[in-house]
A = this chain, B = another copy of it.
Amino acid sequence: MFLERSLRRVVVAVMRELSGPIPVNIGGGRSYNIHLVPLARLDSLLREVRLQRGPCVVVTDANVAGRWLPQLAEALDGWDPSVIVLPAGEQTKSHASVRSVYDKVLAQGIDRQTPVIAFGGGVIGDLAGFAAATLLRGLPLVHVPTSLIAQVDSAIGGKTGINHAAGKNLIGSFYQPRLVCTDTSILDTLPSLEWASGLAEVVKHALIADTQLLAYLERSWHKVQSREPATVRTMVGWAAAVKAAIVAEDEKEQGRRAILNFGHTFGHAIERVAGYGAYTHGEAVALGMRAALSLSARLHKHFDMDRAMSLVCQIPVRYPLSSQPVSVDALMDAMRYDKKASRGALRLVALRAVGQAYVTDQVTRDALLAAWAAAYH
């Protein structure tokens, strides 16, 4: 009873805080804010960070443009935007797309003050971020994330990049935006697969670092599922704040930030073995978290796996692993690939308790096999 009330008080406090921006305190002059505001506020946010009205570049994809470009154009009244519309989908994170952005941007009259606005989900954010990082040695980058995964995860923390034949995200840089403008009402039109994909990252943020967010999700799950506007706004702001706090501690992923990979090493193996595209990234992470929770329970006798697993299993996944022609041996092999790629031992993120993640390279083959078995159910 007391716990409930104290949690509610925290939630209320967080919701109150969310009326202001969420700071991402990177340091070195690269700090910025995440603003949970209607898209219409974009112009004033740009000017708050001393970007002067004039030319700007909007990078977006065909899906987002089809539904939301008029609203963005209205929000950029007074600006002179050049809009680059790319095909939706992971294949857009390519050298060819970056080259086409370079060509189009450089054909305009731009200078180092010309903002690049990434208007889309994770793919657009990563791609436009990389283009901004590498044009004229760095143009001001503004994220306007339109997917749940982008709003709570990929638009925060400065990771930019594209894929290479040798693997995903192998080309890229750390490049912080000047601001993030997050309008949660855009999520109303998000396809359910993408919504579920984002939920996997929200649940992950709660599991690794914030028991109160976890409790909020447990209590509000039906409102989350129905995308009740106030609940979505609270959830997005809260999850974004968790991500912001973690990346602020470790801008370049040299330590703490690695806990954000909870469920991801397993998930990457699933994506690799099932074939990219068979699962969404979020589905693979949701399945990967099942394995990671099982591993955590094996490593820590008092770990409350049932509570965590109960929420993870509510993240919609179209098909269980057991319905796929994916063997544990193949998954183990795929993890060895990850290990080879990182010179040395396989590093995994485990939980010693809900909200307390850490990185370990002390995982036996037996423990891995058992963890994978758990993911199959």
Contacts and interface: CB of A to CB of B under 8 A. Distances in A.
B343 A134 contact: no
B95 A171 contact: no
B341 A106 contact: no
A137 B172 contact: yes
Contacts of A161: 137
Given A164-B102, A343-B111, A343-B113, A173 B137 contact: yes
Given A95-B99, A167-B106, A173 B133 contact: yes
B343 A102 contact: no
Interface string A15-37: 00000000000011100000000
Interface in A22-66: 27-29, 54
A106 B166 contact: yes
A106 B173 contact: no
A170 B138 contact: no
Contact of A138 (B107, B136, B167, B252): B252
A166 to B, nearest CB: 4
A179 B213 CA distance: 44
A29 B29 CA distance: 13
Interface string A157-185: 00111001111011111110000000000
Contacts of A137: 159-161, 169, 172-174, 252-253
A191 interface: no
Given A111-B341, A341-B111, A342-B111, A135 B170 contact: yes
Q: How big is chain A's contact interface, by range?
A: 35 or more
A221 to B, nearest CB: 35
A109 interface: yes
A113 B341 CA distance: 11
A106 B341 CA distance: 10
Contacts of A106: 164, 166-167, 170
Given A109-B340, A111-B341, A113-B343, A138 B174 contact: yes
Nearest to A344: B111
A136 to B, nearest CB: 6
A341 B171 CA distance: 28
B54 A343 contact: yes
Given A130-B134, A137-B174, 15 more contacts: A27-B28, A28-B28, A28-B29, A102-B170, A103-B165, A103-B166, A107-B166, A109-B343, A111-B343, A135-B170, A136-B170, A137-B159, A137-B161, A137-B253, A173-B173
14 contacts: A54-B343, A102-B164, A102-B170, A109-B343, A111-B341, A111-B343, A113-B343, A133-B173, A134-B134, A134-B173, A136-B172, A137-B161, A137-B174, A138-B174
Interface of A: 27-29, 54, 95, 99, 102-103, 106-107, 109, 111, 113, 130, 133-138, 159-161, 164-167, 169-175, 252-253, 340-343
